Amino acid sequence: MIKKNIAILGSTGSIGTQTLSVISEYPDLFQVQVLTAANNYVLLIEQARKYKPLAVVITNEKYYSVVNEALHAIGIQVYTGAEALVEVVKISSIDVVLTALVGFSGLEPTLAAIKEGKTIALANKETLVVAGALITRAAKENNVKILPVDSEHSAIFQCLVGEQSSAVEKIILTASGGPFLGKDRAFLSTASSKQALKHPNWQMGDKITIDSASLMNKGLEVIEARWLFNVDVRQIDVVIHPQSIIHSMVQFKDGSVKAQLGLPDMKLPIQYALFYPNRVENNHPRLDFDHFSQLTFEKPDREVFANLDLAYKALEVGGSMPCVLNAANEVVVAAFLKQEIGFLEMSDVIAEIMTKTNFIKEPGLSDFLEIDQVSRMYAEESVKRKRTISSTNF
């Protein structure tokens, strides 16, 4: 196998660190060329000393000098600011850009990397949620592969190997249901961020963990699947599968259903994307059916977890609506984590902002940047109003 040069955007996060750990298992097969972080300069410096990339980005300018002082002397270029993410992906020797940034921040660097013809290993689902049409068009024009890292999409991708896309009847995304599976609205109205951050099966960054508890993560994944696999919204179903062993399924036109199974461990989908189309050996723990005698399935409760319906609705409306959904969601998740609003209020704010923002049918990059800003502003105002009401209501 030829050595691959890789840029890891968001190397200090949950996906970023697991990617480095997969790469460490195959030291002769990868050369890390770029590492990036927002604030965690301590870990970024540590990673850079170990993997010796050509360049690092610390987007928060406050930490630029400390990172530069540590790394310049050993020949590593240090950049700062969000714009630097768009520049570093253009380094000509990079083959693969693994996008593990959170939220809208992934859009511009991913688009820039696609325009440079880099293969994308995509963890940052929000990029496809916000601008799926734009991103997939750019990928087609530049003959670029977008390889899914998200476990459900990796599962679907694996089920589709050797199949014709016209043979797909539907995609069935599995969802663990998160820590609040089976809870009612009364319980959720007082649920805390501490409770929501306790995911039963996965260890992930805070934003996606809250999204998993509210089922917004599954909603975002429905939109991600629509663009990755070029299927209609009516061809995407969600089923709750609390054990997270079946990572997702594809149903074909002859009624056959294929599934991909494995332990809930992101290293497998990361490894599959990094080595695609090859499968390589590893010594990770194996699925032992003695420990999983029951795999169960149930319907998601769309009344209690309104976010799933909001995401389907945003996808059906199309155009700028998924961008609005994503921006409002980023604001409410941050507000919930700071205990500024309650768990159920997150969906209320998103629904409100989706009716408020001007609709654009075919947005371009500059439209997305503006829609994101405006939707965030509306969502922040709405959060503020909710805080004022709740503080005068006791």
Q: Which is nearer to Mg ion, 59 or 307 (CB)?
A: 307
Please give the full DSSP string across 60-94, using - where no structure is assigned: SGGGHHHHHHHHGGGT-EEEESHHHHHHHTT-TT-
Q: Which is nearer to Mg ion, 91 or 238 (CB)?
A: 238
Establish if 211 lies at the interface with Mg ion (CB under 5 A): no
* 24 vs 186: CA distance, rounded Å: 47
How far CA 343 is from CA of 192, 204, 305, in Å, comes to: 7, 19, 10
**Token pair belonging to 262:** 């494995």
Q: Taking the complex as a whole, how short is the minimal distance between the CB of residue 257 and ligand NDP, in angstroms?
A: 23
Task: Name the residue number minimizing CB distance to ligand NDP.
Answer: 13
**Residue 357 near which of ligand NDP, Mg ion, none (CB within 5-8 Å, type-dependent):** none
- Contacts with Mg ion by CB under 5 A: the residue count is 3
Establish if 150 lies at the interface with Mg ion (CB under 5 A): yes
Q: Which is nearer to ligand NDP, 56 or 386 (CB)?
A: 56
Q: Taking the complex as a whole, how short is the minimal distance between the CB of residue 22 and ligand NDP, in angstroms?
A: 13
**Residue 219 near which of ligand NDP, Mg ion, none (CB within 5-8 Å, type-dependent):** none
**Residue 14 near which of Mg ion, ligand NDP, none (CB within 5-8 Å, type-dependent):** ligand NDP
Q: Taking the complex as a whole, how short is the minimal distance between the CB of residue 232 and ligand NDP, in angstroms?
A: 23
Where do we find the tokens 């503080």? 391
* 377 vs 328: CA distance, rounded Å: 9
Q: Taking the complex as a whole, how short is the minimal distance between the CB of residue 376 and ligand NDP, in angstroms?
A: 12
Establish if 126 lies at the interface with Mg ion (CB under 5 A): no
What's the residue count for the chain? Answer: 394
- The helix-helix angle for 216-228 and 321-337 (nearest 10°) equals 150
Residue 39: half-sphere exposure toward Cβ, Cα within 13 Å: 1
Please give the full DSSP string across 220-283, using - where no structure is assigned: HHHHHHHHHTT--GGGEEEEE-TT--EEEEEEETTS-EEEEE--S-THHHHHHHHHTT------
Using an 8 Å Cβ cutoff, are 203 and 139 in contact?
no
Return the range that interacts with Mg ion (CB under 5 A); candidates 75-83, 151-159, 261-269, 276-284.
151-159
**Residue 126 near which of ligand NDP, Mg ion, none (CB within 5-8 Å, type-dependent):** ligand NDP
**Residue 152 near which of ligand NDP, Mg ion, none (CB within 5-8 Å, type-dependent):** Mg ion
Using an 8 Å Cβ cutoff, are 13 and 100 in contact?
yes
**Residue 102 near which of ligand NDP, Mg ion, none (CB within 5-8 Å, type-dependent):** ligand NDP
Residues that bind ligand NDP (CB under 6 A): 10-16, 37-40, 59, 82, 100-102, 105, 123-126, 150, 202, 204-205, 208, 266
Establish if 152 lies at the interface with Mg ion (CB under 5 A): yes
Q: Taking the complex as a whole, how short is the minimal distance between the CB of residue 193 and ligand NDP, in angstroms?
A: 15
